[in-house]
Amino acid sequence: MKNLAILGSTGSIGCSALEVVRTLAPHFRVVALAAGRNVQLFCRQVEEFKPELVALEREDDAREFRRLCSIPDLKVAFGQEGAEEVARYSSVDTVISAITGIKGLRPTLAAVEAGKKVALANKESMVVAGELIQQAVREHHAKIIPIDSEHSAVFQCMSKEAPEDIKKVILTASGGPFFRLSSEEMETKTPEEALNHPRWQMGKKVTIDSATMMNKGLELIEAKWLFGLQPEQLGVLVHPQSIVHSLVEMRDGSVLAQLSQTDMKIPIQYALTHPERRDSSLPPLDLSRVQSLEFYEVEEHKFPLLELAVQALDEKQAFSVALNAANELAVEAFLGKKIKFSDIHVVVAEALETQDGRMIHSMEDIFEVDLAARERARNLLTQRT
């Protein structure tokens, strides 16, 4: 039996992970959970899965949780330290890192430094700190198995191949809800329209990132660090059906691909059971019902945030940190109806212009660059609203 911790258990990935754990019982047991601000749902999760340690983002939520959910011997922590405590909890074998945004970085690193197997859904960790995290993985003999469907596909296709045989990794992108629109048509799209993703049910931030294709950009940067690839080894293909989750081109002309139903439970389960596999609770993929799998080149000029992310592959790590930070704020402003859809990339691009290109040597450097970029983005947003 394996002991699990879940960081971000009330989010979209966290909830799917708990569904997977239900079907994998009794092979997996949840021993620690950390969540944000959804105290009610968290309470139900804790009552069902009976962890030994839980953590909430805020102290007052932790207090509220204790009131709602009085389980004897349950340890309740809070704040950044609470999440980190969950991540390095001693009896835990595998940590599912599924807190969205840069908030997920410190707990992810804590899990790595505790030598855990980390099932990674928080892409920002790799985007802003890929080098530091991989260094910590080597030092602490940790292991990272990606949960993102694209990276899980790449992992499954390439992990058993020799690195020198990998020519190119091609991430597929559904193209999001606006793939067939012109730049002009996209300009005035509302948050409701952007949240109406054709294929995937996901959290709000990642769904907006999918509409701008920034999500694919962040995934490219994540893939660079996860798999140790050069910028020219990375590409994107639009594949509206989201059945082929990514492709790996080998030097001999063979292309390996992983396909499945569009359901995050599949990569989550793979990350948990790896290197084994277990039966799925989903019906098998029937390609004769899908009938046609389509592939298109991305019209990059329509997705300037993707262009910035591609540029980031060649830039210093600080560029990715600032890109991610400015994008988080701009998306938040868009979701709050403070800026237009087409303003997201304008704000991000402007925030990057004054980026000073410093070197990243530590977590502190990352947070400094992150804060400075947020500051710039916040100023730009204030000017616009």
Site for its own copies contains 294 (CB under 8 A): yes
Those residues whose C-beta lies under 8 Å from the C-beta of residue 264, and which sit 6 or more positions away, are 12, 13, 16, 147, 149, 200, 202
Q: What type of residue is 224?
A: K
- Residue 195 structure tokens: 């949240």
Q: Kindly write out the interface string for residues 136-165 of this chain, putting x where it contacts its own copies by CB under 8 A and - elsewhere.
A: --------------------xx--xxx--x
- Under DSSP, the state recorded for 103 is G
Nearest to 246 by CA among 302, 174, 145: 174
* Binding positions for its own copies, 229-288, rule CB under 8 A: 237, 244, 247, 249-261, 263, 266, 269-270, 273, 276-280, 282, 284-285, 287-288
In this complex, which beta carbon is closest to its own copies, that of residue 134 or of residue 241? 241
- State the Cα–Cα distance between residues 125 and 95, nearest whole angstrom: 14
Residue 113 CA to residue 91 CA, distance in Å, equals 15
> Binding segment for its own copies among 189-197, 289-297, 313-321, 331-339 (CB under 8 A)?
289-297
Note if the bond before 284 is cis, omega within 30 degrees: no
Q: Pick between residue 68 and residue 282 the one whose CB is nearest to its own copies.
A: 282
Q: How far is the CB of 241 from its own copies (least distance, A)?
A: 10
Is 301 one of the binding residues for its own copies (CB under 8 A)? no
Kindly state whether residue 168 participates in binding its own copies, applying the rule CB under 8 A: yes
Q: Which is nearer to its own copies, 99 or 226 (CB)?
A: 226
End-to-end, the C-alpha distance of the chain in Å comes to 53
Find the shortest distance in angstroms from Cβ 366 to its own copies.
34
Instruction: Please state the φ and ψ torsions of residue 144, each to the nearest 5 degrees.
Output: -115, 125
Nearer to its own copies, 19 or 375 (CB): 19
Residue recorded with tokens 């962890």: 51
| CA 305/CA 100 separation, integer angstroms | 19
Report the distance separating Cα 107 and Cα 120, nearest Å: 11
Residue 22 interacting with its own copies (CB under 8 A): no
Q: CA dist 112 to 20, 106, 137, 351, Å?
A: 23, 10, 6, 31
In whole angstroms, the minimum distance from the beta carbon of 76 to its own copies comes to 34
Q: Which of 66, 75, 143, 167 binds its own copies (CB under 8 A)?
A: 167
Of 74, 137, 293, 349, the one binding its own copies by CB under 8 A: 293
By CB under 8 A, tell whether 371 contacts its own copies. no
Give yes or no for residue 197 binding its own copies (CB under 8 A): no
User: Residues 73, 192, 297, 353: which binds its own copies (CB under 8 A)?
Assistant: 297
Residue 364 is a binding residue for its own copies (CB under 8 A): no
How many amino acids of this chain bind its own copies (CB under 8 A)? Answer: 48
Residue 53: exposure state from Cβ atoms within 10 A (0-12, 13-18, ≥19): buried
Closer residue to its own copies in complex, CB, 141/289: 289
> Is residue 221 near its own copies by the rule CB under 8 A?
no
Query: Taking CB under 8 A as the rule, does residue 214 contact its own copies?
Result: no
322-332 burial, b for 16+ CB within 10 Å, e for fewer? Answer: bbbbbbbbbbb
- Nearer residue to its own copies within complex by CB, 200 or 367: 200
Q: How far apart are CA 76 and CA 218, in angstroms?
A: 33
Minimum gap (Å) between residue 293 Cβ and its own copies: 4
Q: Which residues bind its own copies (CB under 8 A)?
A: 156-157, 160-162, 165, 167-168, 170, 237, 244, 247, 249-261, 263, 266, 269-270, 273, 276-280, 282, 284-285, 287-288, 290-297
